[in-house]
Chain A
Amino acid sequence: DVKVTQSSRYLVKRTGEKVFLECVQDMDHENMFWYRQDPGLGLRLIYFSYDVKMKEKGDIPEGYSVSREKKERFSLILESASTNQTSMYLCASSLRGEQYFGPGTRLTVT
């Protein structure tokens, strides 16, 4: 059974802080993804990675960066958090197209 975990379920940060969201998967999947989920907007892709140290921008990469130093771990970084980054963040790993999601991190930036 695939397990995808995220470092925090809820996070409150102040404007301008650097924020790290971590995601770990235990199924040796090559592909990992970061999404943000906002009401009425669905799931929007921020970044994805198809291998260690490889990353590609998704549809909304502005204000975010990522790191993948190990195959099982994919981190999302908000260099300087802003209030418009308040959202639910979902990580996923993927095998042959099927996405396995983590539980999500609800980030509030005040």
Chain B
Amino acid sequence: GENVEQHPSTLSVQEGDSAVIKCTYSDSASNYFPWYKQELGKRPQLIIDIRSNVGEKKDQRIAVTLNKTAKHFSLHITETQPEDSAVYFCAASMGGAGGSYIPTFGRGTSLIVHP
């Protein structure tokens, strides 16, 4: 089955710095790569995703890059703010019958943004 490795497990930055979280996956058939943000005491929520037919996607201060050859994808957050502090999870999945995607999650990165 799929295996997703996520690094680092903890990331501490100063407000205004950039943050990068990296994930690698093992199954070359995976074609959907979402990122979820989980604030303390809250549910995970999708912040950005990328499908295998593109190499990069941006949404304001966040971006995701995908390298299918190397089987890794990364989350980039620029101009970090204290409200970016949260646990971030990457996932990899493959579209199956009936549109089902069964994700395998990374173990999470705790991002701390110091004011």
Question: Which residues of A pack against B, CB within 8 Å?
Answer: 30-31, 40-45, 48, 50-51, 56, 58-59, 90, 94-99, 101-104
Contacts and interface: CB of A to CB of B under 8 A. Distances in A.
A99 B108 contact: no
Nearest to B2: A59
Contacts of B34: 97-99
B73 interface: no
Nearest to A102: B43
Interface string B95-107: 1011111111111
Interface residues of B, number: 28
Interface of B: 1, 6, 9, 32, 34, 36, 42-46, 49, 89, 91, 93, 95, 97-108
A88 to B, nearest CB: 10
12 contacts: A30-B99, A31-B99, A42-B6, A42-B108, A43-B44, A43-B105, A48-B100, A96-B95, A99-B34, A99-B91, A101-B45, A102-B43
Contacts of B9: 40
Nearest to B90: A42
> Counting chain B CB atoms within 10 Å of each CB, which of A41, A58, A90, A99 scores highest?
A99
Contacts of A42: 6, 89, 105-108
A45 B102 CA distance: 9
Contacts of B102: 45, 48, 56, 58
B101 A96 contact: yes
A51 B89 CA distance: 26
A50 B97 CA distance: 9
Nearest to A51: B98
